[in-house]
Amino acid sequence: MTASSHLTRAHSFSAAAAQYASNRPSYPPALFDAIEELAARPLTGARVADIGAGTGIATALLHARGADVIGVEPGDGMAAQFHRTNPGIPLVRGTGNALPLATASVDFLTYAQAWHWTDPDRSVPEALRVLRPGGALALWWNTSALDVPWIAAQAHRIGHAFGTDPVVAANGASTRAADPSGHLGFAHRVVRWSRRVSVDTHLANIGSHSIFLVQPDETRTAFLAEEKQHLRSLFPHGTIEETYDVELLVATHT
């Protein structure tokens, strides 16, 4: 993927912020239990910066957990949706490559579905700069459970239509990709969970991913219409159970 196409995809979310907020999956309580276990410290009362906060899905959950949380988000559309959804949570504009945060100012840095939009050569030193001693960097991704047959079949159709998505693989859920420098010692955990949604919500969810957002309208619409036919034949009652494996990486700043 070229730098320009990566940037185009990163910026594609702003126009789809409302769709993203309404249809993207959340995260289970067990994820935050795992973060606390691997970081060996509670989120309650901790100073947390949620980077690439988007519409605030993870930020709101961190707030509900009792964290003193601030969101950091570069996109205009996503930031506007964040403010509509979470009027009581502060948000500043910025990216993980150049954090608008003071040195040694936070106990946790969190990236929900966002680390892969950063350049680790810049975002790793920035994370180490803003974390307090003993603070933790937590990265996570909702990934499709490919051992579920219908999910694997859908992933194959998406790959056939648009190619394999290289974005998360570029610096995603493997420790080597997330930190090529080796400066961070990540612990890894997988948390499985699921949600039941309508076929339409599921299609709106997958259509909010950047690999779809950068397609021409007619290409995206045609694929999703055909996909709806596939899903209606499998789930005539109109409800789907989406199963996810949350890939979690946590590193402590010593």
Query: Could you read off the pLDDT of 207-233 as tens digits, one per residue?
Result: 888 778 778 889 889 999 999 999 999
Q: Among 155, 158, 177, which Cα is nearest to 167's?
A: 177
Chain-centre distance for alpha carbon 129: 22
The pLDDT assigned to 217 comes to: 86
pLDDT tens by residue, 24-50: 899 999 999 999 999 999 999 999 999
What's the pLDDT tens digit per position in 51-93? 999 999 999 999 999 999 999 999 999 999 999 999 999 999 9
Longest dimension (CA), the chain: 55
How many C-beta atoms surround the C-beta of residue 247 within 10 A? Answer: 19
For residue range 91-139, list pLDDT tens digits in order: 999 999 999 999 999 999 999 999 988 999 999 999 999 999 999 999 9
**Which residue, chain included where needed, has tokens 């249809």?**
23
For residue 196, give both structure tokens: 């039941």
Q: Looking at per-residue confidence, does 6 or 34 come out higher?
A: 34
Instruction: Please give the C-alpha separations between residue 175 and each of 183, 234, 252, in angstroms, as whole numbers.
Output: 11, 36, 13
At 252, is the secondary structure helix, strand, or coil? Answer: strand
